[in-house]
Structure 1
Amino acid sequence: MSTPSPSNSPQDNVKPADYKVIFAARQSYTQHTDPCEQAAKASLTCMDRNDYNRDNCMDFFQAYRDCKKAWLEQRREDRRAGRPTPV
């Protein structure tokens, strides 16, 4: 499965991909499927561009944290509502 290249703007990565679609598309079971993969890649790309100066990439790190938080909250809400969630 190919993924688009990371964005140059951290705000483009705040919203997680639909985790149900991501999980359904995987070919085998893995607990490491991450709907926030784009945000993670954008963070690493920022670190590469800035010679691993973490201070220059704080917006990208925050975007990843926000994405992860939104994803986990979405899963919690689905479980509370009794909607089926992928394994």
Structure 2
Amino acid sequence: MSSKTNETAPVNENKGDSLPPPEAGLKPLNYREQFSGRHVTSQFIDPCSEASKASMDCLNRNDYDRDACLDYFQAYRDCKKAWIQQRKDDRRAGRSTK
């Protein structure tokens, strides 16, 4: 057996598209912009959706080999953690989180 390394972005052999690097999804989008114009907060609004999509694309392109996509999963977790922390800090400062 050979071990897989994730030194370069995986390439889809059928389309020739490459995945963005995992580091691209580390910073969440501004969640206030995501919520603006909506009077109901939805569970489906996710400022880290790009990181989520990249991790799912990685799984699809690597035949669901989880070990090949660990960097993408970590990038999504880091993005989500930063987003939640940003919302907590805003609540503590008295700013609206919606």
Give the TM-score normalised by the residue count of structure 1.
0.84
Task: Tell me which moved more, 72-81 or 20-29.
Answer: 20-29
Match of 2:36 in 1: 24
Inter-CA distance 60–26: structure 2 relative to 1 (3 Å threshold): farther
Larger Rg: 2
1:79 aligns with 2:91: yes
**Greater fraction helix:** 1
Gaps of 5+ in 1: 1-6
CA RMSD of aligned residues (A): 1.9
1:60 is paired with a residue whose SS is: helix
Compared with structure 1, are the counterparts of its residues 71 and 54 closer, same or farther at alpha carbon in structure 2 (3 Å cutoff)? same
- Which 4+ runs in 1 deviate beyond 6 A? none
Structure 2 residue aligned with 1:69, among 67, 76, 81? 81
* Pair 1:43–1:25, CA change in 2 (3 A): farther
Amino-acid identity (%)? 54
Q: For residue 9 of structure 1, what is the aligned residue in structure 2?
A: 21
State the distance in 2 between where 1:9 and 1:26 align.
31
Aligned residue pairs total: 81
Gaps of 5+ in 2: 1-18
> Relative CO higher for 1 or 2, CA cutoff 8 Å, sep ≥ 6?
1
